[in-house]
Amino acid sequence: MRGTLLALFSGWVSAQVLFYVEPVRFYTLEGEPYVELFLGVDATSVVYVPADPGYQGVVDFTLVLKNKADQPVYADKFRFALPPVPDTQHVQRQRIYMDVRRLRLAPGLYTLEVEARDPHQQPRPQIVKAITQFEAPPPARGFFYSDLLFARHIRRDTASSVYQRHGLALDLWIANGFLVDPDTLFVYGELYRVDSLTAEPYYVRVRVLDAQLSKEVPELTLRQRPRRPGPFDVFYFPLSVRSLPSGVYLAQVELCRNDGEVLASWYRRFSIFSTREPLVEASEAEYDALYGFPESQLDELLGASMYLATPVEKSFMKTLRSLEDKKRFFVAFWKKREGKPGQLSFREFRQRFEYAQQHFKSSLRPGWKTDRGRVFIQYGPPNDMQFFYNEPDKYPYQIWTYNQLGAQAQVFFVFYDPDLITGEYPLLHSNKLGEIQNRNWRAFLLRARAAATGETEIYQRVGSGSAFLFPG
């Protein structure tokens, strides 16, 4: 598996420049917001040419930032020169290099368009584009917190050349939370005006949750010593993640009173790609004996298995071409899970799959490909389903409720029918950690009335990064 994975990663090198964009929101001590815009370039995806000294790669960037009205409010065009290396061996430059710039923006929703081009790419340079959205917050008048940053190392060293914040040197991991074979992951954040939230001593706690199983990783819960509230505080935690298998996780931060009451909670998602996982042997003969599905049905079951797969497994699935490879992967996938605590058995998976096929298909796609089918397969049957098809001035919608999903209680999903034709029912909102969170979901259901009256509603998706989880 390791060789295949490394070949897959190395295949990206010749295809295009690989870069990451992370807008991170901070505040000044006076409560004024600003955005640190980080660009991370994977050096293994850049062509290095002779330079003085050694070899060097460059990437040409074009940035355009637009507001909600699609008007440009910031633009820049520049050449990012990576540090020179003594030779062109990947081992000498296998890391991500970073550029950062600070933006002060009016509150609102923004769209950032980025174009990257390696001028030394052969036979001719390709332009790679990326688009990301983020919300610039209003000035802080009470307690607030920054977005979370991930780093390889954090130390008190103001003389270091790496990224500096408040007397700390941060060797940041700018990869949109995608971490390959990490050993230690540092989580960094800032707190503003804790003294407006409580006058009692408080502490900060970080927990790691398995996003797919909705389960806390017990050995990865850390907390600071209690401290007195003030206008500003910095926290960071080193998390030993070497032993975590490939998967999607949440780093959840909680601000707690000294008695343990949680005052505020927020999180950031990260994915681990581990090439250290043991190989599971599988053969075609095992597939024929245990399953025997024709290739068309196998393709559907593999597609639905994506909802349960780790990031490494998803990468492998995308490379499967021959029927023999699909069979061997399918056997290994379920052999790895069968009988393991917290893992779905193939028998139960197939029951969920067949139910989704029968009950959640639309005129556009089969049931397993719809949002309702995906949620049903991934989380199982809900404890309660409510249907709202005839409320005046509202789209038809459904609310599914789960009494417990892992460590999270009273989880719900809201699906709605925006076109009234296809029966697709895409997911509009969920309070499940790691899922789409649309804080305006109730107002958005009234869009039918808005279309008639000329009113508009803002639809924001806030599921992949920090989320506001204040109690009440």
CATH of the domain at 63: 2.60.40.2360
102-117 pLDDT, tens digit each: 999 999 999 999 999 9
Residue 13 has what pLDDT?
Answer: 36
For the chain, the domain total comes to 4
Taking the C-alpha atoms of residue 460 and residue 134, their distance in angstroms, rounded to an integer, is 9
Residues 18 and 337: their CA atoms lie apart, in Å, by 33
Q: What is the mean pLDDT of residues 457-468?
A: 30
Q: Residue holding tokens 């997911």?
A: 427
Query: 52 in helix, strand or coil?
Result: coil
> The CATH number of the domain where 211 resides is what?
2.60.40.2550
Give the domain extent around 135.
9-141
Answer for the pair 52, 113: CB distance below 8 angstroms, yes or no: no
Q: Are residues 196 and 290 in the same domain?
A: no
Report the alpha-carbon distance of residue 42 to residue 21 in Å, rounded: 12
Structural domain ending residue among the three candidates 245, 262, 277: 277
DSSP conformation letters of 271-319: EEE-TTSPPPP--HHHHHHHT---HHHHHHHHHHHGGG--HHHHHHHHH
- Identify the bridge partners of residue 444 per DSSP, sorted by sequence position: none
Residue 264 tokens read as 């505020």
- Give the tens place of pLDDT for each residue, 188-221: 999 999 999 999 999 999 999 988 777 888 899 9
Q: Please identify which residue in the block is written with the tokens 């309660």.
A: 384
Of 226, 245, 277, the residue at which a domain comes to its end is 277
Which of 277, 293, 321 terminates a domain? The answer is: 277
Residue-wise pLDDT tens digits, 111-151:
999 999 999 988 888 898 988 988 999 998 899 999 999 99
Q: Are residues 16 and 131 in the same domain?
A: yes
- The SS3 of residue 3 is helix
Asked if residue 303 and residue 272 are part of one domain, the reply reads no
Residue 317 lies in a domain: yes
Q: Is 377 within the bounds of a domain?
A: no
Are 272 and 290 part of one and the same domain? no
Would you give the DSSP letter of residue 413?
Answer: E
Average pLDDT of span 21-33: 93
pTM over 0.85: no
Residue 57 has pLDDT above 70, yes or no: yes
Work out the pLDDT band at 406, boundaries 50, 70, 90.
confident
pLDDT at residue 158, rounded to an integer: 66
User: How much is the pLDDT for 240?
Assistant: 95
Question: Does 7 score more than 60 pLDDT?
Answer: no
Q: What is the pLDDT of residue 428?
A: 93
**466 domain residue, yes or no:** no
Residue 309 lies inside a defined structural domain of this protein: yes
pLDDT of amino acid 348: 95
pLDDT band at 89 (very low <50, low <70, confident <90, very high): low
Residue 451 pLDDT exceeds 90: no
Lowest mean pLDDT across 16-25, 152-161, 347-356, 378-387:
152-161
178-180 and 262-273 as β-strands: parallel, antiparallel, unpaired?
A: parallel
Band of pLDDT at residue 470, cut at 50, 70 and 90: very low
DSSP 223-279: EPPPB---SEEEEEEEEE-TTPPSEEEEEEEEEEETTS-EEEEEEEEEEEE-TTSPP
Quote the percentage of the chain above a pLDDT of 70: 89
State whether 130 and 47 are in the same domain.
Answer: yes
Same structural domain for residues 39 and 85? yes
Let me know if residue 147 belongs to a domain.
no
Question: To the nearest whole percent, how much of the chain has pLDDT over 90?
Answer: 56
pLDDT of residue 462: 28
d(CA 228, CA 210): 32
**What's the number of CA atoms in the CB half-sphere (13 Å) around residue 1?**
21
Q: Are residues 298 and 409 in the same domain?
A: no
- Residue 456's alpha-carbon distances to 36, 390, 445, 446, 450, in angstroms, are 30, 22, 11, 10, 6
Residue 3 binned pLDDT confidence (cut-offs 50, 70, 90)? very low
Cβ contacts of 454 within 8 Å, gap of 6 or more:
none
pLDDT digits (tens, 9 = 90+) for 409-432: 899 999 999 888 899 999 999 988
Same domain for 392 and 414, yes or no, is yes
Residue 305 placed within a domain: yes
Residues 220 and 321 in one domain: no
pLDDT of res. 248: 87
Mark whether 338 and 386 lie in a shared domain.
Answer: no
- Say what the alpha-carbon torsion angle 174, 180, 217, 229 is, to the nearest 10 degrees: -20
Q: Does residue 192 sit within a domain? A: yes
Q: Report the pLDDT value the prediction gives residue 278, as an integer from 0 to 100.
A: 72
Q: Is residue 18 domain-resident?
A: yes
pLDDT at 316: 81
Residues 340, 402 within the same domain: no
Q: Residue 14: which pLDDT band, with cuts at 50, 70 and 90?
A: very low
Q: Are residues 121 and 22 in the same domain?
A: yes
Asked whether residue 456 carries a pLDDT value surpassing 60, the answer given is no
DSSP 146-188: PPPEEEEEEE--TT-SSEEETTEEEEE--STTEEES-SEEEEE
